[in-house]
Amino acid sequence: MAKEIHANIPEGDLKDKWSNYKAQAKLVSPNNRKKLEIIVVGTGLAGASAAASLAEMGYKIKSFCFQDSPRRAHSVAAQGGVNAMKNYQNDGDSVYRMFHDTLKGGDFRSREANTYRLAECSASLIDQAVAQGVPFGREYSGYLKNRSFGGVQVSRTFYARGQTGQQLLLGAYQALMRQKEIGSVKLYTRHEMLDLVTIDNKAKGIIARNLDTGEIERHGAHAVILATGGFGKIYYLSTLAMGCNASAIWRAHKKGALMANPSWTQIHPTCLPQSGPYQSKLTLMSESLRNDGRIWVPKATNDKKSPIEIPEDERDYYLERKYPAFGNLAPRDIASRAAKEQIDIGKGVGPLRNAVYLDFAHAITEYGKDVIAERYGNLFDMYQKITGINAYEEPMKISPSAHFSMGGLWVDYDLMTTIPGLFAIGEANFSDHGANRLGANSLLQACVDGYYIAPCTLQNYLSDQIQVEKTQINHPAFQEAERLAKKQLENFVESKGNKTAEEFHREIGKILYDKCGLSRSEQELKKAILQIQNLREEFQQNLLVPGDAHEINSELEKAGRVSDYMELAELMCVDALERNESCGAHFREEFQTEDGEAERNDDDYAYSAAWEWSGKASKPILNKEPLHFTYVQPSKRSYK
Amino acid sequence: MKIHLKIWRQKDQKAKGKLESYSLNEVDAKMSFLEMLDMLNLQLAKKGERPVEFDHDCREGICGQCGVMINGIAHGPLKKTTTCQLHMRSFKNGDTIYVEPFKSKAFPIIRDLKVDRSSFDEIIAAGGYISVNTGQAPEANSIPITHEEAESAFNSAACIGCGACVATCKNASAALFTSAKITQFANLPQGKKESKQRTVNMVNRMEELDFGHCTNTEACQVECPQDISVLNIARMNYEYNKAKLTK
């Protein structure tokens, strides 16, 4: 039975909705806040900023991360920048324009009200980060600098060299550590959430495993926030950190939270190509490089000349040719698909013919090597470390790679899931980016959710929890959740098969890349579903986990994560198969225009698909949240 | 190529550790160092043996979680490079590589190559921040910061907290780590208000933990993957003395 889902969007004109919400939101008085406990899982930008902000307000916070320090969460790796509507460049930017860019960038598959709020809150974030001491790039006059990112025609991206994520995360991490010192936050590093505990259908706590000792712990609270990031690592080869996973949100999904648009994965166009079968990740090279780098392939197929020997008239700058209005700064989904198209017709470059060139020769001639080094020096260094090639002298070779999950837990305007008291923020939710996220909007969303939205909406939820007694962790719901979590771990260890979790992970990743990646079709998705079901069956029989469950055991940690991927992968394919249209990153081969662009179907598919766990991985239940466009009429998304 | 490994194996903090020998026959020069360890671990797992535990996460040199001593050098032979960014092309066929954890009293061994660096978090908690609550910030451009100040603050802020400086220092001093944060904020107008208190609190916390004293050997900068300058330490000492002398 499909559920009734309500986005709870506030009344009023688009530009007044968030103000109206804040004006009417219920409050908790300062002396009551210390009685209320909140669990925050994840210490990336969303988790750390929410935990710190709520602790500053006076709530008692328990903060969890699987890394050895909160500062290592994968927000740290974001390179290029964070968008904000300051209009410092006087180039025609406005909240409305930023909202419009984001909505259009997402191919009209996000909620208007959420997207508008993201743009509306963006300016405050820059103020906060600067006050924290984040060293953003500056003009010689001392004022903040901006650059441009894909899919927009203004310069609204703030950056700290190529390490913007690191610097913003350190700001949030330091705010978190300040609260830890005061005693408002209790930190649980090297802990992994194994299950969500619900009592009377409300989120009341989690079961977590201490990864250093193997001990299983119960933690109760008045509300739980999941800020556990995206699950692009399901593709195995991705830009994500090795530990990134879907387990927290997937286990919450199995406890009743809906999962929205799970197949919408951003494949990032500028990553280092795969160089061999042993490879464990694909390193991202920031999109900011496309400000000055030009993308091209040889005009001739299978041209094996060195790039420097290929004259101008034998090069195809295909993005500039196909999308003259945006050129090399076409949005990510479009740039990735265009690269795949060139590689598929035999114009790929590099030893495995799986890459395209990103060339800085023109920019170096125009601005000089020093200017380019100041802008992107660390990226050029990184490129050289990994490939051994000096990109000041010859073009980089880049290739698309799985990167960001636009899909995630379904949340309403309050960022609350369908389980009362369970919130999902940052990349873990689905809300703001539609079917494609614009560059530099990810750091923004994580921060806006954590610093501004969650503190307000959590308080609204907690206002009627003051009378509710502290959650008792000896409640049968905790006992049962703990029992099941332990049983699963024992099953993994006792399976004694022949294949490690890593090997299963590589296989499922390959299926998804081939059949549920940049391009999808009914026929291939159906095949993928069967393959995944078979692989899942094999996983249950043939998993090999050395060691045991009562000690540090990274193979066991991987097994738990891959076990969840085995189920989520199928849901991704089901989601992609159900949507008989192309939109943003979701490109169904059957639905394209004559010139090969995505063909959306607003009559039948202007909704978010919110999937419900039925108890069986192969039988998900579809719920639809219709998308209403009141302020912007969906148009054909053209960057030509 | 063929690679011989001598890897530190230690069950837990209290157990006695020792170097174990392993050999890999099909190492590709394009592999990263950690992918080479993945290869070893897969082979160990298949034989039913316990894989080598090691720290790693982003594998692109920014999270600071990876880090081992490779032939006695923190993060291995390449300058300004984390362990995860080191590739096997830096070694040659038949090489024997010694792999050990970042050893220091302040970084207890958890197992094998994995160490506990939470003492770094403790130093930050003592004062490594500007005390501004969410919502208190003034308009960003109301605090002009010159290009040079911002760049200089960034150079200090780039520290990834990996601990190579401590592992390299013969005294296991955390001076480079602590001073980088103190200097970042000392260079920024927003950070000046709390500068004295921050410096004293962070230095005191560093001394309470199990770190040694800095004796200016400058080995830390040599092995720092982010090339954090020892001038930060000079600045920290200046800020500390200033705080003590001008109460």
What's the complex ipTM?
0.98
Q: B160: which chain A residues are within 8 Å (Cβ-Cβ)?
A: 166
Calculate how close chain A gets to B154, using CA atoms only, in Å.
Answer: 6
* Interatomic CA distance for residues A576 and A46, integer angstroms: 28
Confidence bin at A240 (pLDDT 50/70/90): very high
Which single residue is written with the structure tokens 């904000």? A84
The interface residues of chain B toward chain A in range 145-164, judged by CB-CB distance below 8 A, are 145-147, 149-151, 153-154, 157-158, 160-161
B99–chain A Cβ distance below 8 A for any pair = no
* Domain span(s) for CATH 3.10.20.30 in chain B: 3-111
Q: B111: which chain A residues are within 8 Å (Cβ-Cβ)?
A: 552
Confidence bin at B188 (pLDDT 50/70/90): very high
Helix A164-182 × helix A112-132 angle, to 10°: 70
B132–chain A Cβ distance below 8 A for any pair = yes
The interface residues of chain B toward chain A in range 38-67, judged by CB-CB distance below 8 A, are 38-39, 42, 44-46, 48-51, 53, 55-65
* C-beta atoms of A276 and B28 within 8 A: yes
* Interatomic CA distance for residues A568 and A238, integer angstroms: 16
pLDDT 10s digits, A463-485: 999 999 899 999 999 999 999 99
Residue of B nearest to A245 (CA): B57
* C-beta atoms of A166 and B58 within 8 A: no
Q: How many residues does chain B have?
A: 247
- Residue A535 burial (CB count, 10 A): 19
Q: B87: which chain A residues are within 8 Å (Cβ-Cβ)?
A: 385-386, 388
Domains of chain A, residue spans: 268-400, 488-626
Structure confidence at residue A509 (pLDDT): 97
Calculate how close chain A gets to B216, using CA atoms only, in Å.
Answer: 27
Calculate how close chain B gets to A243, using CA atoms only, in Å.
Answer: 6
Residue A1, pLDDT > 60, answer no
- Please name the residues in contact with A421: beta carbons below 8 A apart, sequence gap of 6 or more: A202, A203, A204, A222, A223, A224, A461
Which single residue is written with the structure tokens 């959306």? A600
What is the DSSP code (8-state) at residue B12? Answer: S
CA angle B50–B51–B56, rounded 5-degree value:
145
Which residue from A106, A99, A96, A97 is spatially nearest to A154, judged by alpha carbons? A97
Q: B184: which chain A residues are within 8 Å (Cβ-Cβ)?
A: 133, 135
Residue B191, pLDDT > 60, answer yes
Structure confidence at residue A151 (pLDDT): 82
* C-beta atoms of A241 and B58 within 8 A: yes
**Contact criterion met (CB below 8 Å) for A583 and A598:** yes
* Interatomic CA distance for residues A298 and A300, integer angstroms: 5
Calculate how close chain B gets to A546, using CA atoms only, in Å.
Answer: 6
Of the CA atoms within 13 Å of residue A386, those in its CB half-sphere come to 27
- Least CB-CB distance to B137: which of A127, A178, A275? A127
Residue of A nearest to B205 (CA): A181
- Least CB-CB distance to A142: which of B51, B136, B144? B144
Architecture of domain A488-626: Up-down Bundle (1.20)
Indicate the CATH number for domain A268-400: 3.90.700.10
CA distances from B246 to A474, B148, B196, B240, B241 (A): 55, 27, 9, 10, 8
Which single residue is written with the structure tokens 């190559």? B113
B112–chain A Cβ distance below 8 A for any pair = no
- Residue A523 burial (CB count, 10 A): 11
Residue of B nearest to A280 (CA): B35
Structure confidence at residue A637 (pLDDT): 84
* Interatomic CA distance for residues A414 and A437, integer angstroms: 20
Residue A431, pLDDT > 90, answer no
A311–chain B Cβ distance below 8 A for any pair = no
* Interatomic CA distance for residues A6 and B106, integer angstroms: 52
Calculate how close chain B gets to A162, using CA atoms only, in Å.
Answer: 11
B125–chain A Cβ distance below 8 A for any pair = yes
Structure confidence at residue A405 (pLDDT): 98
* Interatomic CA distance for residues B142 and A240, integer angstroms: 36
Burial of A578 (0-12, 13-18, 19+ CB in 10 A): middle
* Interatomic CA distance for residues A182 and A199, integer angstroms: 31
Residue A558, pLDDT > 90, answer yes
C-alpha torsion angle, residues A226, A232, A233, A236 (rounded to 10): 160
Calculate how close chain B gets to A73, using CA atoms only, in Å.
Answer: 7
B25–chain A Cβ distance below 8 A for any pair = no
A175–chain B Cβ distance below 8 A for any pair = yes
Residue A4, pLDDT > 80, answer no
pLDDT 10s digits, A438-464: 999 999 999 999 999 999 999 999 999
- Residue B94 burial (CB count, 10 A): 9
Structure confidence at residue B78 (pLDDT): 95
pTM here? 0.97
- Least CB-CB distance to B140: which of A56, A144, A279? A144
Share the mean pLDDT of chain A: 96
Q: A500: which chain B residues are within 8 Å (Cβ-Cβ)?
A: 42, 45-46
* Interatomic CA distance for residues A292 and A358, integer angstroms: 9
Report helix, strand or coil for A213: coil
Which residue from A622, A626, A608 is spatially nearest to A261, judged by alpha carbons? A608
Which single residue is written with the structure tokens 């494609």? A436
* C-beta atoms of A385 and B78 within 8 A: yes
Q: How large a percentage of chain A has pLDDT more than 70? A: 99
Active site members of A: 332
Mean pLDDT of A203-230: 98
- Least CB-CB distance to B56: which of A144, A242, A385? A242
Structure confidence at residue A501 (pLDDT): 98
Calculate how close chain A gets to B41, using CA atoms only, in Å.
Answer: 10
Confidence bin at B123 (pLDDT 50/70/90): very high
Which residue from A323, A404, A265 is spatially nearest to A597, judged by alpha carbons? A323
pLDDT 10s digits, A35-61: 999 999 999 999 999 999 999 999 999
* C-beta atoms of A170 and B157 within 8 A: yes
* Interatomic CA distance for residues B185 and B243, integer angstroms: 14
* C-beta atoms of B161 and A71 within 8 A: yes
Of the options 3.10.20.30, 3.10.580.10, 3.40.50.300, 3.40.47.10, the CATH number for the domain spanning B3-111: 3.10.20.30
pLDDT 10s digits, A94-119: 999 999 999 999 999 999 999 999 99
Structure confidence at residue B64 (pLDDT): 98
Calculate how close chain A gets to B245, using CA atoms only, in Å.
Answer: 26
Cα–chain center distance at A463: 30
- Please name the residues in contact with A371: beta carbons below 8 A apart, sequence gap of 6 or more: none
Amino acid at A130: V
- Interface-testing mutation among A130, A244, A459, with chain B (most B C-beta atoms within 10 A): A130
* C-beta atoms of B157 and A86 within 8 A: no
- Interface-testing mutation among A82, A138, A145, A238, with chain B (most B C-beta atoms within 10 A): A138
Interface contacts A/B by beta carbons within 8 Å: 216
* Domain span(s) for CATH 1.10.1060.10 in chain B: 117-245
The top-level CATH class assigned to B117-245 is: mainly alpha
Residue B154, pLDDT > 80, answer yes
Which single residue is written with the structure tokens 């310069």? A155
Q: Which two tokens stand for residue A236?
A: 């195995």
pLDDT 10s digits, A325-367: 999 999 899 999 999 999 999 999 999 999 999 999 999 999 9
Amino acid at B47: K
* C-beta atoms of B134 and A500 within 8 A: no
Structure confidence at residue A2 (pLDDT): 57
* Interatomic CA distance for residues B54 and B110, integer angstroms: 10
Structure confidence at residue A377 (pLDDT): 86
Q: B205: which chain A residues are within 8 Å (Cβ-Cβ)?
A: none
Q: A51: which chain B residues are within 8 Å (Cβ-Cβ)?
A: none
Residue of A nearest to B128 (CA): A174
B218–chain A Cβ distance below 8 A for any pair = no
Structure confidence at residue A640 (pLDDT): 84
Beta strands in A406-489 (DSSP E): 408-409, 422-424
Residue B247, pLDDT > 90, answer no
Mean pLDDT of B88-97: 97
Q: A178: which chain B residues are within 8 Å (Cβ-Cβ)?
A: 125, 129, 131
* C-beta atoms of B140 and A503 within 8 A: no
* C-beta atoms of A278 and B185 within 8 A: no
Confidence bin at A3 (pLDDT 50/70/90): low
- Interface-testing mutation among A74, A385, A562, with chain B (most B C-beta atoms within 10 A): A385
What is the DSSP code (8-state) at residue B173? Answer: B
